[in-house]
Structure 1
Amino acid sequence: MTIDRRSLLAGASAGAALIAAPALVRAQGAGPIKVGEINSYTAQPAFLKPYRQGWELALEQINAAGGALGRKIETIFRDDGGKPEDAVRHAGDLINAEKVDLLSGGFLSNVGLAIADFAAQNKRLYVASEPLSDAVVWAKGNRYTFRLRPSTYMQAAMLVEEAAKLPAKKWALVAPNYEYGQSGVKWFKELLKKAKPDVEFVAEQFPALGRIDAGATVQALEASKPDAIFNVTFGADLSNFVRQGNTRGLFEGRAVVSMLTGEPEYLDPLGAEAPVGWIVTGYPHADIQTPEHVKFRDAYKAKFNDYPRLGSVVGFDTMNSIAAALTKAGSTDTEKLVDAMKGLKFASAFGQAEYRAIDHQSTLGAFVGKTALKDGKGVMVDWRYADGAKYLPSDAEVKLLRPAG
């Protein structure tokens, strides 16, 4: 059998076309839509293991229904270890090597701000799921960054609404010494002073994140003889603070208002030592019976044989909001996605929410209630859902807080 040169070249060209065809199809958008997800998985596992599970549940449901734009969505996860510099390095790798279509994630506020800055410089969409710093959408806000969770301002405003009803005049405050803690204290003081001009703040303690000297902190707060305490610690710091406070009688006869303490991630580890009567933001997962939440909770339990934490909701809602943005944009083009995110309405486990066009902050709310003990475990009682849209500043105020863009 002989093959002349013309036949050989024709065959080679046909083979090359067959090889190039899949690449051409991928280039035209038949491959998966890639999302780069950066988070502090090893540094904050209590929140971020449930977060990832909630994300994976949403992703499974979305892809089972056909994905977005007729394409499957793929997530490439990266662990920043709680370090801003590692988060930025991962962001660069995800954009340049993995060719992701957008970025998401962030837990600690300083990490979220670092990714947001990267997104602005590189003109890529970043959906910040968890970092609570107001600077993410206000002072350092940019065209390419949107945030899902209620911010420190929003949660402080929800808690101040309850704190203002207390007879307490002298307040002491404790918070981790980084962006989130400083922001939480700032807004609580400012908003409470506005609601009750006669209050005074007699002590402030800012222990290092993850390294609280709980005994010394409790002693310093007790020495100021406050009527009430505002707490912003979470995780292991919260557990140590509560145990030392219980031991030393800090909370006896005093009201405590506490951000995040009602979240199962932080309440469950306290067991029977969980505080009673604290006014908190959190997530009473077992008692929320809205159709959206029951559907989410049942699906989560079926998949993971466990109950959801607040992280589960945040992961679930972030992924669903990204899918909604892709559908609205009709494209993976960054500028079209950014435009689609402005004013985007999306379904969450807590009902419908929206990313405000003016500041890119979601209107997702939080639950406000009191802590109690039930069967030797901390729970939330007397709770209500605080719609995030009602706890955000006006457009005129936002224009003063946020740079153009």
Structure 2
Amino acid sequence: MRILSRLALAGTVAVTLFAALPSLAADSIKIGEINSYSGLPAFTEPYRKGWQLALEEINAAGGVNGKPLEVISKDDGGKPASAITAANELTSSDGAVMLMGTFFSNVGLAVSDFAKQKDVMFLAAEPLTDAITWSKGNAQTFRLRPSNYMQAAMLAEEAAKLPAKNWATVAPNYEYGQSAVAVFKQILSAKRPDVKWVGEQWPTQGKIDAGPVVEALLATKPDAILNVTFGGDLVKFVREGSTRGLFKDRAVVSFLTGEPEYLAPLKDEAPTGWIVTGYPWNAVKTPAHDAFLKAYQAKYNDYPRLGSIVGYVTMKAAAAILAKAGSTDTAALIKAAEGLPLETPFGPISFRAIDHQSTMGAFVGKTAVQDGNGVMTDFVYRDGKDYLPDDATVKGMRPAP
């Protein structure tokens, strides 16, 4: 793989990548990729490795309809304004025919609005807010990962079985955290009308002051806690919570904590018995996942994170959309993506025509410590299609075209 890098406007680094091929010239199909590489490298670096592996496989197999794919990648730094600058450069100067990527929900929403205004297809990889496919959805935007609603529905299904009645919440105070808490409350309260919400904490993303947060939660005397923190905030929250006894004899339900990029850094400090969504990479035993794992470890000599899966499948999806469309015209790409089936390391998925949400699912299980490392146990893969609202409900939430 040859890597050409150049410094773009506003300090954004753009990198063009392609698999080893004789020549790209004007025949390559360019995809613009945007993500928060400097904002949250724990997830986005494995994500980049995932899409680079997929790109290499696609081009080694002949590209898309005989043309190689070329990816021009830019770092948004976790800032919506930087993402819009990058999107504009990619589509107006770099020749990208579609956009993919983004991590933070507020960044994803910004790029989605850009895609609508400029009529360019956007394949959102990671942002989880429900707004991106529902209240602020548009024809040009598709989303890969299971949304907040889908993961909340999976977790609420388990939470409803708990005897806990008094719940407190902690989540980062931006679009993702706000959306996750709201939808979990909605779904659990519908399943368990006896539940009471006794407290909530909203730390700034990446800047949690865990001691006061834990003390505030303790003061509400909850039976159970919903956690939506991740990354470095999660590490601090777990350490302070363990030290101050927050988790003693209390159930914890937690978005994302079972993902290796967030669980592994905790090592033997990982909490035990939390109900989580995640990715038990070393315990998934299916032919499709085995093939992915073998290829990933052969290329990188490292284990995959969930970001690796997301990057890999996003790139495969982009190629499949282009191949089916047989064109780089936005209208043709949208038509090709609606209802598109796709094989993934987690099994078959499709992109729903009604809301452009994929049916990718998630693993739900419990946290444990084994051999000094945090792991997921007692896990089950939940198919995303079983945790999505019906068409009539979606039509009521999504703007008219």
**TM bracket (short chain):** over 0.9
Aligned counterparts of 1:30 and 1:297: Cα–Cα separation in 2: 34
Alignment of 1:3-82 (within 5 A): 31-82=27-78
Is the contact between residue 177 and residue 209 of structure 1 (CA under 8 Å) also seen in structure 2?
A: yes
1:203: Cα distance to partner?
0.3
1:170: Cα distance to partner?
0.3
1:241: Cα distance to partner?
0.3
Aligned counterparts of 2:108 and 2:26: Cα–Cα separation in 1: 31
Q: Secondary structure at the match of 1:221?
A: helix
1:69: Cα distance to partner?
1.4
Alignment partner of 1:258 out of 230, 254, 268: 254
Which residue identity is paired with 2:41? Answer: P
Aligned counterparts of 2:343 and 2:119: Cα–Cα separation in 1: 27
Alignment partner of 1:347 out of 343, 351, 354: 343
Aligned counterparts of 1:84 and 1:152: Cα–Cα separation in 2: 20
Alignment partner of 2:202 out of 206, 209, 217: 206
Aligned counterparts of 1:367 and 1:387: Cα–Cα separation in 2: 9
Report what 2:16 is aligned to: none
Aligned counterparts of 1:64 and 1:351: Cα–Cα separation in 2: 23
Aligned counterparts of 1:351 and 1:199: Cα–Cα separation in 2: 35
1:370: Cα distance to partner?
0.1
1:326: Cα distance to partner?
0.9
Report what 2:314 is aligned to: 318
1:221 matched to 2:223: no
Q: Secondary structure at the match of 2:315?
A: helix
- How far does the alpha carbon of each residue in 1:137-176 deviate from its partner, in whole angstroms, 9 at most, with x for none? 0000000000000000100000000000000000000000
Q: Secondary structure at the match of 1:86?
A: helix
Report what 2:183 is aligned to: 187
1:333: Cα distance to partner?
1.2
Which residue identity is paired with 1:320? Answer: K
Aligned counterparts of 2:109 and 2:41: Cα–Cα separation in 1: 20
Q: Which moved more, 1:311-320 or 1:331-340?
A: 331-340
Q: Which runs of 4+ in 1 moved over 2 A?
A: none
Q: Secondary structure at the match of 1:127?
A: strand
Identical counterparts, % of pairs:
62
- How far does the alpha carbon of each residue in 1:118-144 deviate from its partner, in whole angstroms, 9 at most, with x for none? 000000000000000000000000000
Alignment partner of 1:338 out of 334, 341, 351: 334
Which residue identity is paired with 1:34? Answer: K
Alignment partner of 1:169 out of 155, 165, 169: 165
Report what 1:91 is aligned to: 87
1:404: Cα distance to partner?
1.9
1:279 matched to 2:268: no
1:349: Cα distance to partner?
1.3
Which residue identity is paired with 2:35? Answer: N
Alignment partner of 1:376 out of 365, 372, 393: 372
Which residue identity is paired with 1:311? Answer: G
Report what 2:305 is aligned to: 309
1:365 matched to 2:367: no
Report what 1:3 is aligned to: none
1:30: Cα distance to partner?
5.8
Is the contact between residue 133 and residue 152 of structure 1 (CA under 8 Å) also seen in structure 2?
A: yes
Is the contact between residue 127 and residue 146 of structure 1 (CA under 8 Å) also seen in structure 2?
A: yes
Aligned counterparts of 1:263 and 1:33: Cα–Cα separation in 2: 33
Aligned counterparts of 1:169 and 1:163: Cα–Cα separation in 2: 10
Report what 2:7 is aligned to: none
Report what 1:158 is aligned to: 154
Which residue identity is paired with 2:55? Answer: L
Alignment partner of 1:134 out of 112, 130, 136: 130
Q: Which moved more, 1:325-334 or 1:37-46?
A: 325-334
Report what 1:232 is aligned to: 228
Alignment of 1:288-299 (within 5 A): 288-299=284-295
Q: Secondary structure at the match of 2:27?
A: coil
Aligned counterparts of 1:206 and 1:365: Cα–Cα separation in 2: 27
Aligned counterparts of 1:293 and 1:335: Cα–Cα separation in 2: 33
Give the TM-score normalised by structure 1.
Answer: 0.93
Is the contact between residue 108 and residue 131 of structure 1 (CA under 8 Å) also seen in structure 2?
A: yes
Report what 2:105 is aligned to: 109
Report what 2:243 is aligned to: 247
* RMSD between superposed Cα atoms in Å: 1.2
Structure with the largest fraction of helix: 1
Aligned counterparts of 1:333 and 1:244: Cα–Cα separation in 2: 52
**Runs (5+) with no aligned partner, structure 2:** 1-22
- How far does the alpha carbon of each residue in 1:302-337 deviate from its partner, in whole angstroms, 9 at most, with x for none? 000001000000000000011111111111111100
Which residue identity is paired with 2:226? Answer: F
1:364: Cα distance to partner?
0.3
Aligned counterparts of 2:44 and 2:345: Cα–Cα separation in 1: 17
Which residue identity is paired with 1:93? Answer: E
Which residue identity is paired with 2:141? Answer: T
Aligned counterparts of 1:366 and 1:116: Cα–Cα separation in 2: 24
Is the contact between residue 321 and residue 347 of structure 1 (CA under 8 Å) also seen in structure 2?
A: no
Which residue identity is paired with 1:117? Answer: D
Aligned counterparts of 2:165 and 2:111: Cα–Cα separation in 1: 40
